[in-house]
Amino acid sequence: MIGSQQERRRFMRFQTALEADYWTTGVSAAGRAQVLDVSRAGMRVTLAQPMLAGAPVKFTLQLPGDNTPIFASGDVAWASAKPGQGGVGIRFREIKSPDLARMLDYAYAQWLGA
C-alpha cells in the first residue's frame, strides 16, 4: 500500500521520454503529448487539455531511430485535476502486438540505461 491507496497495477511500468500526437472525437481535443511511462496495459501521458475518465483517445508515436510509427487507441482511466501536472492514465484499447513490443523494448532499454 502507498499511503491509503492500494497499488492496483498488474504490469510493471517503465519510465520513458517519448512524444506522441493525440486526438479524440469525444471532446474535440488534439495536440502533442509527453509519454511519461508505459506498461503492457497502458501509459501515462501529459496533455494540454483536461480529459475526463472514459474519454477515447488515439495516439501516434515515433520511437527515436525507428521510421515506422506506432498507432494506439485507448481510454482515459484517470486524470489529474490540473492539465499538464501529474498526467493522464491511458488504458490501451487497441495496439498491435508488434508495436507494443517495440515500445516496451525501447522503454526497457532506457530503464536499463542502454
The better pLDDT of the pair 85, 76 is held by 76
Candidate CATH numbers 1.10.3720.10, 3.40.50.300, 2.40.10.220, 3.40.190.10; the one for domain 14-112: 2.40.10.220
Mean pLDDT of 33-50: 91
pLDDT greater than 50 at residue 6: no
pLDDT score, position 11? 78
Cut 0.75: pTM above it: yes
Q: For the residues of 33-94, what is the DSSP string, one character each?
A: EEEEEE-SSEEEEE-SS---TT-EEEEEE--TT--S-EEEEEEEEEE-SSTTSS-EEEEEEE
